Structure formats: structure tokens, C-alpha cells
């Protein structure tokens, strides 16, 4: 199936959704492609119920709520979403347009491409435990999509970074018991979170299992009964548990993007900060996947990058029109 649009946006995370809005404000149409089954990127896949504090005008907003707001902001411009599929090939046509082909045999002709794919395809770093796959998505998880799923359960959380500590704190009032396993007694998290964690540990609302590492799983039919942990002296403890949440970061993979002939720097796409254009004319990158000197990896930074890219793309989509800048308060959404 072949369709046509102005811009193909690769990635339906925050920067991809905001790109749709910015493009719509400039009368440009978008088709959006994402490998996940739902929009939202990492906000949806990894931490939908985690609060975000640095979105302007929102002192606190859950990641899932942010995605809902961005989707609502983009909706007036009728984006077309192609989900659960990956871009396999980008071909440049004789008229300088592109054809984007996906794993679902979709072919989309467009005048410009915006890569907003986070850090490419991503997946969790899995702990090296025997028979781990038997428990995954049943009682072993790498993300929290709904806090209610863990109500009144004994939960082992493994990891020492922000995700592990944040979820230990956020699940205190939901779970029956929380045990946080880490190989050191110091955690790599925000100082405020570390203080809250220690306070909850003193109140015996969280048990700190340190210094220990995951050692084994015991259960039946994918349902956990115990998580075994081991210290550096080979002492083993068996923790009664209904669930294991393992937070050891993400394994990033650019996938087909790595073979598109773009200028890369350590698995990131190098762009001109003034336009967000890559080394290939007509192809842009925004968000975490884009890099330039002194780049700040913040969602709010990606929003500005989306606006910059769309304003530069305007001259590609409408080469015969003179662009007159207007504030949204002047021209409205329609």
C-alpha cells in the first residue's frame, strides 16, 4: 500500500507527537511510524506512572498524562499512525522526495522525514538468571504500566539507579512489601530520592537488601515464589516474592537507522542545530537520537528541536511560499 504525505515522523514519543503539532500549525500533514503497539515511546513503555517535573507549566505530570496531552494537541491535525512496524528502508526519488517502507509493507511518499526515534529500538537489559523467560510478563517485569497490578504483593526491585529507587518509593503505598536489591549500599539516583529512600527504610516501609545481587528464581507456571540473592561472600538469601521488577537500564540499538548513510556519533545522529537537518538533505532528527555540541537530553529541549525542524521543512513542502512567522495566539489551531 502506498500513500502520500508531507512529513513522515519516525517515532511516536513526546518529540514525535510534538512534531505533528508543529507541522500542523504550519499546514503540513504527517504520518507517524513506531515499532511499539501504542504511541508514547519510552514514556508509555517504561514509566507511564512515573511523574515528570520539568515540563513547563506542569509542576508535576505523569508520563502517561503527558502523552495523552500531546496526543490531544496533535489530534486537530489528523496524524496517521502506523504502529507495531519498523521502518526498513528509505529511498530518495528523482524529484527529491522520499519513499519510506515499513516492515508491514507500507510505502509512504513524503517530502521530508523527521527521525524522533529516541535512541532507536530499545529493550531492557535482562539479568542473567536461569529460566528467566518463563517468568517474564507473568511475574518478572522491566516496567510498571499500572501500579494497581502490584497491589498487596511482595515485590523485589533490583537495581540502583533512578528507575529502581523511584518505583520503590512510588509503590510503597501499593505493595504489601518492597525489597530493594542492590550490589552496593549507595544508589545512583537523585539526592532527594536517596533521602526519601533512607527515610522509608528507617520506617521499615522498604527493606534494603544490600550488598546483594540477583542469583535465582523459584516458582511454578511463571508465578514467582522466591527470589534468591547472593552477596560477595557467597551468602545466599531467599526472599519471598510475588513479583520481580528488574531495572538495569536499556539496551539501545539503532536498528536499520544505522544503515541509512547518516552521519553518526556514538549511535546518535549528528545534526545542524540551527535547522535539525542531518547530513542528508530533507532528513531531520530531533529528541534523544539527535546530537550536537552541548546537547541537553531533556524533553523540553526536544520540543524546541521539533519546532526548529518543522520551520525549516516548511520551505521544502511549500517552496513557492514566503514564510511569515506568527505566534499561535494570532493564528490559532484550525
What sign for the dihedral angle of Cα 38, 43, 49, 55? negative
Model pLDDT, residue 287:
95
pLDDT score at 121: 60
The 3-state DSSP class for residue 179 equals: strand
How many C-beta atoms lie closer than 10 Å to residue 186's C-beta? 10
* Predicted confidence (pLDDT) per residue in 30-89, tens digit: 999 998 878 998 888 777 778 899 999 999 999 999 999 999 999 999 999 999 888 999
Residue 115 and residue 6 share a domain: yes
Q: What's the confidence (pLDDT) of residue 119?
A: 66
Q: Which residue has the cell 544503515?
A: 259
Q: Which of 210, 229, 248 is the last residue of a domain?
A: 248
Contact 214, 241 (CB under 8 A): no
Q: Quick one: CA torsion of 210, 216, 219, 221, rounded to 10 degrees?
A: 130
The CATH number of residue 322's host domain is 3.50.50.60
Q: How many domains are contained in the chain? A: 2
Residues 14 and 161 in one domain: no
Q: Which of 233, 248, 263 is the last residue of a domain?
A: 248
d(C-alpha 163, C-alpha 222), whole Å: 24
pLDDT of residue 309: 98
154 and 238 belong to one structural domain: yes
269 by Cβ neighbours in 10 Å (0-12 / 13-18 / 19+) ranks as: buried
**Residue 162's pLDDT is what?**
86
Check if the beta carbon of residue 165 is closer than 8 Å to that of residue 193: yes
Radius of gyration of the chain (CA): 22
Residue where one domain finishes, among candidates 231, 248, 265: 248
Range of the domain at 311: 2-122+251-331
Residue segments in the chain with a per-residue pLDDT below the cut of 70? 119-123, 251-253, 334
Shared domain for 223 and 259, answered yes or no, is no
Same domain, 25 and 98: yes
Query: What's the predicted TM-score (pTM) here?
Result: 0.73
143 and 167 part of one domain:
yes
Q: Are residues 211 and 238 in the same domain?
A: yes
Amino acid at each position: 500500500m502506498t500513500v502520500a504525505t508531507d512529513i513522515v515522523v519516525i517515532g511516536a514519543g513526546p518529540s514525535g507527537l510534538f512534531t505533528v503539532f508543529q507541522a500542523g500549525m504550519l499546514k503540513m500533514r504527517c504520518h507517524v511510524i513506531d515499532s511499539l503497539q501504542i504511541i508514547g515511546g519510552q514514556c508509555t513503555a517504561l514509566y507511564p506512572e512515573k511523574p515528570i517535573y520539568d515540563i513547563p507549566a506542569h509542576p508535576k505530570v505523569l508520563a502517561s498524562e503527558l502523552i495523552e496531552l500531546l496526543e490531544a494537541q496533535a489530534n486537530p491535525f489528523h496524524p496517521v499512525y502506523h504502529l507495531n512496524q519498523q521502518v526498513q528502508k528509505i529511498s530518495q526519488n528523482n524529484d527529491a522526495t522520499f519513499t519510506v517502507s515499513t516492515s508491514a509493507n507500507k510505502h509512504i511518499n513524503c517530502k521530508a522525514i523527521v527521525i524522533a526515534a529516541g535512541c532507536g529500538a530499545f529493550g531492557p537489559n535482562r539479568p542473567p538468571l536461569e529460566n528467566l523467560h518463563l517468568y517474564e510478563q507473568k511475574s518478572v517485569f522491566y516496567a510498571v504500566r499500572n501500579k494497581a497490578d502490584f497491589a498487596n504483593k511482595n515485590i523485589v526491585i533490583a537495581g540502583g539507579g533512578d528507575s529502581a529507587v523511584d518505583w520503590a518509593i512510588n509503590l510503597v503505598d501499593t505493595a504489601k512489601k518492597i525489597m530493594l536489591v542492590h550490589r552496593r549500599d549507595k544508589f545512583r539516583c537523585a539526592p532527594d530520592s536517596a533521602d526519601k529512600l533512607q527515610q522509608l527504610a528507617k520506617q521499615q516501609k522498604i527493606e534494603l537488601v544490600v550488598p546483594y545481587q540477583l542469583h535465582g528464581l523459584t516458582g511454578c507456571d511463571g508465578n514467582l515464589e522466591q527470589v534468591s540473592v547472593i552477596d560477595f561472600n557467597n551468602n545466599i538469601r531467599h526472599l519471598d516474592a510475588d513479583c520481580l521488577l528488574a531495572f538495569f537500564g536499556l539496551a539501545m540499538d539503532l536498528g536499520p537507522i544505522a544503515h541509512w548513510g547518516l552521519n553518526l556519533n556514538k549511535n546518535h545522529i549528528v545534526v545542524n542545530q540551527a535547522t535539525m537537518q542531518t547530513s542528508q538533505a530533507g532528513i531531520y532528527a530531533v529528541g534523544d537520537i539527535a546530537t550536537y555540541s552541548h546537547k541537553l537530553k531533556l524533553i523540553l529541549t526536544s520540543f524546541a528541536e521539533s519546532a526548529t525542524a518543522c520551520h525549516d521543512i516548511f520551505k521544502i513542502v511549500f517552496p513557492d511560499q514566503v514564510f511569515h512567522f506568527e505566534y499561535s495566539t494570532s493564528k490559532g489551531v484550525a
